[in-house]
Amino acid sequence: MVSIIFNGGIGNQLFEVFSLLGLAQKLNRTAIFNADDYVLHSNLGLLNDQIPLVASRVISIPLEISETTRHIYSPSCCNYQFSSILACDQTKFIVIDGGYFQSFKYFSSIDSSIKKWLKPSEREMISLKKLIRRKDELRFKTCVHVRRGDFLSDGQHAGTDKTFTIRAIDHLYTLHSGLVLIFSNDPEWVRNEIVEHLDYQNDVKIMETSKDNAIKDLYFSQVHCDSVLITAPSSTFGWWIGYLSKNQSSVYYRDIHETEDTVKYQLVEEDFFPPTWKKIGISRNGLIISK
């Protein structure tokens, strides 16, 4: 069985590979990549560099066209599609041609395995624990994901909004005062536009991780994040920080319909966001509200 993989960062690729593995399990088939497809192998190479245990779950062999059936899925990013026809298909190879397969429902049956595959090594654990001062180890830790960069100019996504983010961090800090740890691809913007406007700056730390080591942020979430705030709701990397965090009932995400993010027109919320997560928004008078 083969799932078509598109280009994208590690957040997109984790969705694609885990959805492939989840679908393969549902159909009692083996997940494979077409050995003749350069794009697939380029993407698998990125995962192999950062998360070899995940990449190793997918085998690579050439497809035999005469023994292949192609099923066309909607190209929309964030909705769950599973046809019972797939279970009846007896063809040697099934190709599922679709979009980004960004729904937790594709891989919900292998959730425990995913957490195991993405668990940091003992060596990584030692490094992760050093990122938090000993006196702060027992304090509540709120992790905030801020997405800027290409989200501001790609004509599709909406980057993190300053006002919402400041108000949302304040709101979560009143619920659980402790440490606020901010992850972003634009740390300078975070420093000037967010942290400078918070009254508890001594409790705020910007986590600067290079793009080549993005997996370290996902490791950090598993070990330290008691609560997560996703400020750019269509960010898949922010989604994975939330999914891997310690408490799935303390993951908050902004209502995408408040934003100019055009992904909202193809995102089915109950397919993309797990049911235990909490949707929040900002009222006209600037208050953070549950939705």
Phi, psi of 125, rounded to the nearest 5 degrees: -60, -40
CA angle 44, 78, 87 (to 5 degrees): 75
Q: How large a percentage of the chain has pLDDT more than 90? A: 70
Torsion over CA of 128, 133, 138 and 141, rounded to 10 degrees? Answer: -70
User: Using CA atoms, how far apart are residues 224 and 213, in angstroms rounded to an integer?
Assistant: 17
CA angle 48, 82, 54 (to 5 degrees): 15
- What is the pLDDT at residue 33? 82
> In the chain, what's the furthest Cα-to-Cα distance?
65
CB of 263 closer than 8 Å to CB of 157: yes
User: Using CA atoms, how far apart are residues 218 and 161, in angstroms rounded to an integer?
Assistant: 23
Write out the H or E segment, with its range, that includes residue 181: strand 179-184
- What is the pLDDT at residue 7? 57
CATH of domain 123-290: 3.40.50
- What is the pLDDT at residue 21? 93
The DSSP-derived string for 215-265 is HHHHHHHHHH-SEEEESSTT-HHHHHHHHTSS-GGGEEEE-GGGS--GGGG
- What is the pLDDT at residue 2? 46
User: Using CA atoms, how far apart are residues 152 and 159, in angstroms rounded to an integer?
Assistant: 5
pLDDT: which is higher, 237 or 85: 237
Question: What is the average per-residue pLDDT within 129-145?
Answer: 97
DSSP state of 29: -
User: Using CA atoms, how far apart are residues 215 and 118, in angstroms rounded to an integer?
Assistant: 9
User: Using CA atoms, how far apart are residues 15 and 63, in angstroms rounded to an integer?
Assistant: 23
Give the domain ranges of the chain. Answer: 2-113, 123-290
Residue 60: strand pairing partners:
33
Global pTM reads 0.94
- pLDDT tens-digit series, residues 194-243: 999 999 999 999 998 888 889 999 999 999 999 999 999 999 999 999 99
User: Using CA atoms, how far apart are residues 276 and 278, in angstroms rounded to an integer?
Assistant: 7
- pLDDT tens-digit series, residues 6-43: 557 889 989 989 999 999 999 999 998 887 777 777 77
b/e code 178-198 from CB counts within 10 Å (16+ = b): bbbbbbbbbbebbeebbbeeb
